[in-house]
């Protein structure tokens, strides 16, 4: 399998780094990236070809990964449509819908759309992907191999579910950081030194996530297990319950879902038509 990346920024760099760590041949990777400093960075990976424009690339890969910012996508796709034959196009761009990408590619519809998240940058991401009906098994496996370079992969059947994915795993790291901020600030307010507060917070979140990952129990059961009657955890959870913290988080996730849907419409609109 040969892979061409359109856009060689953070995400493309993370995927390429992960692929090479997994033993993928750098000679099978090409990148179209206008920024010279980014090209120089990419060329440090053994065998990887980095060019400034698509016209400089002799042959394009079996999988073409769209890794430019959503706002840059329409321009980036203009020269690509005419070059596509049997390739799978894999879009990692947030929000952009397959119908709009296909239109910008002059009607080419073999497009897998996916939504990675920021921990992908350290290989600890989770990506949800949606394939077009009838995509060949080997092409699907090729896409999965690429995405596994940055973490875990789940498939969804309906592209509309990617709005919910965006609201959960896409925006989710920010919810966790927000929760960590609150715990750390509470620790400082209770008189702990800032460095101690930060370390206690980080290790608690890491440890709890690892415990949940290692356990076959539901997180609700794990929570009940650390909540003894009349104890400190129960006092905290009662306060959260009384303040509607869970309902508030669910409303926040819904707001992200609604915003994702609206962004898809905005990003795909032709100039002057929105
Ligand atoms: N970062 C994340 O955690 C994350 C998570 C989920 C999804 N995504 C998606 O991943 C995509 C890439 O994000 P990123 O953080 O990697 O962005 P990025 O670092 O800005 O990378 C995009 C690169 O593409 C280049 N580019 C612009 N126009 C181009 C063109 N016509 N042809 C080829 N390359 C072009 C840009 O160059 P210039 O700098 O010169 O414009 C930039 O170097 C986005 O669509 C984003 O929605 C990212």
Q: Return the pLDDT at 212.
A: 98
30 phi, psi to nearest 5 deg: -125, 155
Specify the pLDDT at position 269: 86
* Ramachandran angles phi, psi of 109, nearest 5°: -115, 5
Quick one: pLDDT at residue 126?
98
**Amino acid 82: pLDDT:** 93
Taking residues 240-265, what's their average pLDDT? 96
| CA of residue 240 to ligand 1 center, whole Å | 39
Task: Count Cα neighbours of 186 within 13 Å in the Cβ-side half-sphere.
Answer: 9
CATH topology of domain 3-162: Rossmann fold (3.40.50)
- Asked whether the predicted pLDDT for residue 180 surpasses 90, the reply is yes
Tell me the average pLDDT across 138-155. Answer: 97
Shared fold status for 3-162 and 170-261: no
Q: How far does residue 248's CA lie from ligand 1's centre (Å)?
A: 32
Residue of 4, 11, 111 best suited for mutating to test ligand 1, as the one with most atoms within 8 Å of CB? 11
pTM, two decimal places: 0.92
- Output the residue whose Cα is nearest ligand 1's atom 46: 93
Q: What is the mean pLDDT of residues 73-77?
A: 95
- Could you count the other beta carbons within 10 Å of the beta carbon of residue 215? 12
Cα separation, 70 vs 122, whole angstroms? 22
pLDDT above 90 covers what percent of the chain?
95
Running DSSP on this structure, what letter comes out for residue 46?
T
Give the mutation target among 66, 69, 83 for probing the ligand 1 site: most ligand atoms within 8 A of CB: 69
Contacts 24+ apart (CB under 8 A), 77-83: 77/6, 77/101, 77/104, 77/105, 78/104, 79/53, 79/54, 79/55, 80/6, 80/54, 80/105, 81/105, 81/106, 81/107, 81/108, 82/106, 83/54
Fold of 170-261: ProC C-terminal domain-like fold (1.10.3730)
Q: Is the pLDDT of residue 274 over 80?
A: no
pLDDT at position 271: 74
Confidence of residue 270 (pLDDT cuts 50, 70, 90): confident
Mean pLDDT of 213-221: 97
Please give all residues whose beta carbon lies within 6 A of any atom in ligand 1, as ranges: 6-12, 32-35, 38, 67-70, 72, 75-76, 92-94, 116-118, 120
pLDDT of residue 34: 96
142 pLDDT more than 60:
yes
pLDDT at 273: 58
Tell me which H or E stretch contains 32.
strand 29-32
Residue 201 has pLDDT above 60, yes or no: yes
- Can you read off the two tokens belonging to residue 205? 């979140």
* Choice from 4, 8, 9, 89 to test ligand 1 binding pocket (greatest atom count within 8 A of CB): 9
One DSSP character per residue, 227-265 reads --TTSHHHHHHHHHHHTTHHHHHHHHHHHHHHHHHHHHH
Domain layout of the chain by residue ranges: 3-162, 170-261
96 closest CA partner among 110, 85, 111: 111
DSSP state letter for 5: E
Q: What is the pLDDT of residue 198?
A: 98
**What average pLDDT does the structure give for the chain?**
95
pLDDT at 272: 63
Of the chain, the end-to-end C-alpha distance in Å amounts to 39
Q: Distance (Å, rounded) from C-alpha 209 to C-alpha 262?
A: 32
Return the residue whose CA atom lies nearest to atom 31 of ligand 1: 76
Average pLDDT over residues 198-203: 98
């Amino acid at each position: 399998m040969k892979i061409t990346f359109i856009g060689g920024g953070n995400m493309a760099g993370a995927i390429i780094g992960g692929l090479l760590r997994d033993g993928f041949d750098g000679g099978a990777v090409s990148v179209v990236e206008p920024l010279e400093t980014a090209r120089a960075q990419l060329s440090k990976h053994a065998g990887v070809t980095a060019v400034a424009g698509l016209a400089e690339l002799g042959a394009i890969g079996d999988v073409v990964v769209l890794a430019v910012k959503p706002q840059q996508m329409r321009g980036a796709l203009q020269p690509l449509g005419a070059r596509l034959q049997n390739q799978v196009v894999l879009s990692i761009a947030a929000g952009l819908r397959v119908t709009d990408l296909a239109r910008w590619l002059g009607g080419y519809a073999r497009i897998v759309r996916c939504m990675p998240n920021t921990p992908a940058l350290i290989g600890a991401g989770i990506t949800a992907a949606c394939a077009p009906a009838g995509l060949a098994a080997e092409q699907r496996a090729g896409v999965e191999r690429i995405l596994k370079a940055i973490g875990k992969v789940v498939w969804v059947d309906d592209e509309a579910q990617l709005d919910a994915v965006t609201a959960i795993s896409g925006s989710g790291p920010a919810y966790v950081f927000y929760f960590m901020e609150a715990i750390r600030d509470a620790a400082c307010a209770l008189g702990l030194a800032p460095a101690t507060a930060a370390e206690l917070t980080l290790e608690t979140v890491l440890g709890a996530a690892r415990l949940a990952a290692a356990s076959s129990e539901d997180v609700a059961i794990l929570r009940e297990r650390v909540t003894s009657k009349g104890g400190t955890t129960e006092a905290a959870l009662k306060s959260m319950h009384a303040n509607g913290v869970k309902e508030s988080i669910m409303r926040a996730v819904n707001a992200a879902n609604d915003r994702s849907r609206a962004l898809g419409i905005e990003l795909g609109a032709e100039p002057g038509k929105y």
